[in-house]
Chain A
Amino acid sequence: QVQLVQSGAEVKTPGASVRISCKAHGDTFSDSIVHWVRQAPGQRLEWVGWINGGNGYTKYLQKLQDRVTISRDTSATTVYMDLSRLESGDTAVYFCANSTFGSSSADYWGQGTLVTVSP
């Protein structure tokens, strides 16, 4: 059973960029899709994007497409999410979650990373 461990909380000013990491313990992402999902305070879960841990193919939420980049390291044990030109509306807890190939559910989740965007 894979365990996903995310990097710590971040505080950024508007217009800055942030990078969050998600490390797999007990397995690699090479046979997985890794999703990033965010949750603004008191709001619903919102999918941000996913990466194919095997070939690196990515898919993003259309409204974030020009500001978000998801990548993985060469060992496929860590996935990153970069979000640029931060706005106050990006303040949220960001979760990574993985699905095995062919599965449409998110089986394992990281603990979440709070990103706060404030002047």
Chain B
Amino acid sequence: SYVLTQPPSVSVAPGKTATFTCGGNNIRTKSVHWYQQNPGQAPVLVISYDVDRPSGIPERFSGSNSGNTATLTITRVEAGDEADYYCQVWDSSGDHPVFGGGTKLTVL
């Protein structure tokens, strides 16, 4: 099964930029999706297909994908952005989605 690796935590001051990485073997060949999950709530899709923002997601959220690393970037971080962030791809060999371990964002 395809493996996605995320750092467990990221800390950033309000107003600064938060960067989340998602590592996978030749991940550039896959479409990467990102979800935000607040405590006790369901995940919310914030970036799909590497770079697309679903309706209602602020422009502060952006994504990229190159080589063995996909990246989610949040600019002008706010206290309300504090949450867990998960990346996800489709494992074509197993025909199912695969999630990374998630990264917890702490806003200092």
State the CA gap A111–B98 with chains docked (Å). Answer: 20
Q: Which residues of B lie under 8 Å from residue A2 when comparing CB positions?
A: none
Given contacts A61-B96, A105-B33, A105-B88, contact A95 B101 (CB under 8 A): no
B97 and A35 contacting across the interface, CB-CB below 8 Å = yes
Label chain B's interface by main secondary structure.
strand
What is the interface residue range for chain A against chain B?
20 to 34
State the CA gap A104–B99 with chains docked (Å). Answer: 12
Minimum CB–CB distance for A105 against chain B, Å:
4
Interface string of A36-77 (1 = CB under 8 A from B): 010000001111011000000001010000000000000000
B95 and A106 contacting across the interface, CB-CB below 8 Å = no
State the CA gap A44–B90 with chains docked (Å). Answer: 16
Minimum CB–CB distance for A49 against chain B, Å:
8
B54: CB under 8 A from chain A?
yes
Nearest B residue (CB) for A99: B97
B108: CB under 8 A from chain A?
no
State the CA gap A35–B37 with chains docked (Å). Answer: 17
Nearest B residue (CB) for A104: B90
State the CA gap A105–B90 with chains docked (Å). Answer: 8
A:65-113 near B, CB below 8 Å? 95, 97, 103-107, 109-112
Given contacts A105-B33, A105-B88, A106-B88, contact A44 B42 (CB under 8 A): no
Q: Which residues of A lie under 8 Å from residue B33 when comparing CB positions?
A: 104-106
A112 and B42 contacting across the interface, CB-CB below 8 Å = yes
B42 and A47 contacting across the interface, CB-CB below 8 Å = no
B43: CB under 8 A from chain A?
yes
Given contacts A44-B99, A50-B96, A59-B96, contact A104 B43 (CB under 8 A): no
Q: Which residues of A lie under 8 Å from residue B45 when comparing CB positions?
A: 105-107
- Interfacial residues, chain A to chain B (CB-CB below 8 A): 35, 37, 44-47, 49-50, 59, 61, 95, 97, 103-107, 109-112
The 8 sampled A-B contact pairs (Cβ below 8 Å) are: A47-B97, A47-B99, A104-B33, A105-B45, A105-B48, A106-B97, A107-B45, A112-B41
